[in-house]
Amino acid sequence: MLNVAAKKARPKYLNLTALLFEIRLPLPGWISILHRASGALLFLATVWVLFMFDRSLDSAADFEALRRYLGLPLVKLALLVLIWAFCHHFCAGIRFLALDLDQGTGKERARLSSWLVLAASLGLTALFGARLW
């Protein structure tokens, strides 16, 4: 009878839906996750970018074929995502270097630097993306 009255709360196991919808991660946490995701994306896209670079240097006909390929809307969208990944990884990397030097480690300054990273990476993406389209 004592077990019913003193029921302990069961442990909550985290899954993807809990991480996405139940737990509110602060902006610096999201910036950190996006920094890792953009780094992984850049690493994986290196093969594609090097392949295109190699094809562009083979001959004039291959260069023209690559120009037509790069004109496809889906390829432009993929390049825009890569531009965002580079810009975000660069800006967040500067933020993390500053944090390693104990600059901006307070709560308010960390939030401000996270907003600045987000704004700068999206602004640079828009700037370079306008040139792409």
Burial (CB count <10 Å: 0-12, 13-18, 19+), residue 71: exposed
Domains of the chain: 27-132 (1.20.1300.10)
CA 114 to chain centroid, in Å, comes to: 13
Residue 24: its pLDDT value, please? Answer: 79
Alpha helices by DSSP H, 18-106:
27-58, 60-70, 73-100
Per the listing, tokens 């780094």 go with 39
Instruction: Calculate mean pLDDT across residues 44-55.
Output: 96
pLDDT digits (tens, 9 = 90+) for 1-36: 556 556 677 666 667 777 667 777 899 999 999 999
Residue 19: its pLDDT value, please? Answer: 66
Residue 104: its pLDDT value, please? Answer: 87
pLDDT digits (tens, 9 = 90+) for 53-91: 999 999 999 999 999 999 999 999 999 999 999 999 999
User: What angle do the packed helices 27-58 and 73-100 form, to 10 degrees?
Assistant: 130
Paired tokens of 74: 């889906």
